[in-house]
A and B are shown apart, each in its own frame.
Chain A
């Protein structure tokens, strides 16, 4: 047999560590939330806030200050100049908030000022993005909707698959659409609507005793909150690619959680240990090797992307790095204790779903 990172007879008392894990999670989430509150919400990139971003490549090293000085005459609103990518790329980003100045004029102004004030340096406008405020707010709404629908569909799927309770899952979907319609009727904004929907989903999972779904969703919201919080702490901007990263993290986090849950269910059916806490501990230990290996290979390639992928993909890779790390942690330390707290559903009587007959 080849190498082994985790010894087969490893018996870490994960359930016993849940208090420590809870404190760590709470601290991370609160730090993130505090940062969001202090900064007045997430920092939106131009995809969501609207505005103009210009990426310029110079043919030699240029200081940010020089560029700023060169552009002083333009009086563009909310002008920000920052370095982009690696230092030897000689690239800068210029941002402005939305204004009545047309994009053609902004492009002209920047070109003219560089030609006049940085006469010895060649430059090339590589990227020019303009997003109007209306489009920005539409994209924001759509992104929130996407996050919400992902959570809802996954909750329904887990309830159906794990607890053979498609009917309860259908009730949940129905009740949720009813609840949303009421909120919509009351004229709530989309943001309120989506958070309302998330709470309804959680409440329904709890009320209908869809505990696997409850555990998975709590773990998932936990991962999203921490990732968003860390992004806020690092002063990173949210744009469309970050939403893509967040949705992937949702998929990944669940992937991990489901594999642990699957083993818990199998061990429950086989009565592998006397108490639920011991079954959970046994299951997490049995899958620990796989969890660490998969996270390891995924982190390996995401790290390659983070280091080598270039400026445009940098923040996306960062979100993935954080998300994959947190997702691995949460499937071990968050999802399973919740299952312990509420107990797996008692309707889990048939074992045709345990995977023995497949392939």
Chain B
């Protein structure tokens, strides 16, 4: 045995030990044994399609975020201008990200221009038209840098809020990531109640406290007729059977207090075992709440979440101490989920569910069982065929094929790749294609033997001639796999990963390891002994 062969054997054995060590932790039988202490922690993680769970793609409504932001900037402009003695009226958000406002006195035009330049660097003045009555119509637009900044900020905030909510909901290993086109991908493995998850994730959780206009005519309100500064919405009551009825209610438009001052929210139960949610405000919120309740004793105050009234209690007394509670009619789960969204903060913009995929755990297990079954049957068929067709050489090919499968699975564990259903298909496909390299080599060796070479010489010649062909053929498949990974999502990516891994490991086993086995086999034999191939 020569030196280079010895090194090749050592290297191969190292790879085999390494592969087995990384494969074992993924086997259920090993996971519950004492063996785990000696093995790496990496396991093959199963994709949602095999484990069950929820995959969501959420679209963040950036137009709405921009609109909200512009409305706030308009109000700010009005307030700041007033402090300088400049009267600006009616800031209004127009379509296409514009703010329109009216300056009362055209003599102050220079002053306002100066003020916008100085204090509102995110706004540019699109036009300022002086009317016949001496008023000036202004149109502002946000700068493009500000738009970019706001988009990034909104996305980051949205992801943070959603992560907070999911963490509090208690899902193991959630995966939340930003995607292009203002989208967020959320994966919740093992989660079995998609509707509840969606309710928690999708709630904007914009909380407002508004006064109720008890003098309003409900019959008119039902038709949408309300006085200026009033709005009509619905309040819902939960019936004992769990269903809801909704009644109209008229509110004053202006919010007395919003959810941004909340520091904590908890679920509690009253003496009738009815759940309710308590809120804690920060110092500023507490001051506002104390003032507002003090000024409005004996009036009804509505607690509005995302435009829906949860309850409208009558204020009995001034409430100090920064605590409030939302009683209302909801189930324990609903109260719990409400507390979560209030505690985690509101989303900076509404989100919409663009894509939702839910897989039950039983289906996942069934997929695994069927995939494994197909893999076993397919492998046995290929192994048997190779053995019959090539004799000893076929046995060599079979040995490395088994090694190949071990290495693919170990590779999946090592790189933390996710095994998906198409991924299993990828492994099965690789089994079929893995023998290709060996077939190319074996056919070449047969050709050389037919040309009259001895077994040893034919092996050398066969390997030399076949290697580049095999490389060429496989690189194109790797190209296809890399592109799949680049463009694919979810399961398709899993397929690309296993396919690539399979090609790399099959090159190693089919070219490198089989050569060692052949060399070992022929080293002790006469150079002209026949070869079983």
Contacts and interface: CB of A to CB of B under 8 A. Distances in A.
A193 interface: no
A308 B195 contact: no
In the complex, which of the residues B381, B477, B480 has the most CB atoms of chain A within 10 Å of its own CB atom? B480
Contact of B468 (A154, A316, A355): A355
Given A255-B476, A302-B429, A304-B428, A126 B468 contact: no
B491 A304 contact: no
B373 A308 contact: yes
Interface string A347-359: 0000001111111
A128 B487 contact: no
Contacts of A39: none
Interface string B116-137: 0000000000000000000000
Interface string B469-491: 10111111111110110111111
B359 A126 contact: yes
B497 to A, nearest CB: 12
Contact of B428 (A3, A57, A104, A305): A305
B447 A286 contact: yes
A309 B370 contact: yes
B488 A255 contact: no
Interface in A1-36: 1-3, 8
A358 B444 CA distance: 15
Interface size class of B (residues with CB under 8 A): 35 or more
Given A134-B354, A150-B479, A356-B464, A248 B473 contact: no
A3 B353 contact: no
A293 B468 CA distance: 19
Contact of B489 (A139, A258, A310): A139
A317 B378 CA distance: 13
Nearest to A253: B476
B374 A126 contact: no
A132 B440 CA distance: 47
A83 to B, nearest CB: 16
Contacts of B373: 308
B330 interface: no
A96 interface: no
B181 A138 contact: yes
B432 A302 contact: yes
A254 interface: yes
B421 interface: yes
B382 A2 contact: no
A305 B374 contact: yes
A359 B354 CA distance: 51
A346 interface: no
Interface string A52-69: 000101000000000000
Nearest to A134: B354
Given A129-B357, A301-B378, A241 B422 contact: yes
Contacts of B199: 104
Interface stretch (A114-122, A141-149, A164-172, A180-188): A141-149
B430 to A, nearest CB: 9
A240 B489 contact: yes
Given A131-B355, A298-B432, A1 B370 contact: no
The 8 closest A-B pairs by CB, nearest first: A301-B378, A355-B468, A251-B477, A298-B432, A304-B378, A146-B487, A310-B370, A251-B480
7 contacts: A126-B363, A146-B484, A259-B473, A262-B472, A290-B443, A298-B432, A309-B370
Given A57-B363, A146-B484, A301-B431, 7 more contacts: A2-B393, A124-B360, A241-B495, A248-B495, A251-B478, A304-B428, A310-B367
Interface of B: 49, 57, 59, 181, 194-195, 198-199, 352-360, 362-363, 366-367, 370-371, 373-375, 377-379, 381-382, 385-386, 388-391, 393-394, 421-422, 424-425, 428-429, 431-433, 435-436, 439-440, 443, 446-447, 449-450, 463-469, 471-481, 483-484, 486-492, 495-496, 499, 511, 515, 532-533
Interface of A: 1-3, 8, 55, 57, 103-104, 107, 124-132, 134-135, 138-139, 142-143, 145-146, 149-150, 153-154, 157-158, 161, 240-241, 243-244, 247-248, 250-252, 254-256, 258-259, 262-263, 266, 286-287, 289-290, 293-294, 296-305, 307-310, 312-313, 316-317, 320, 353-359
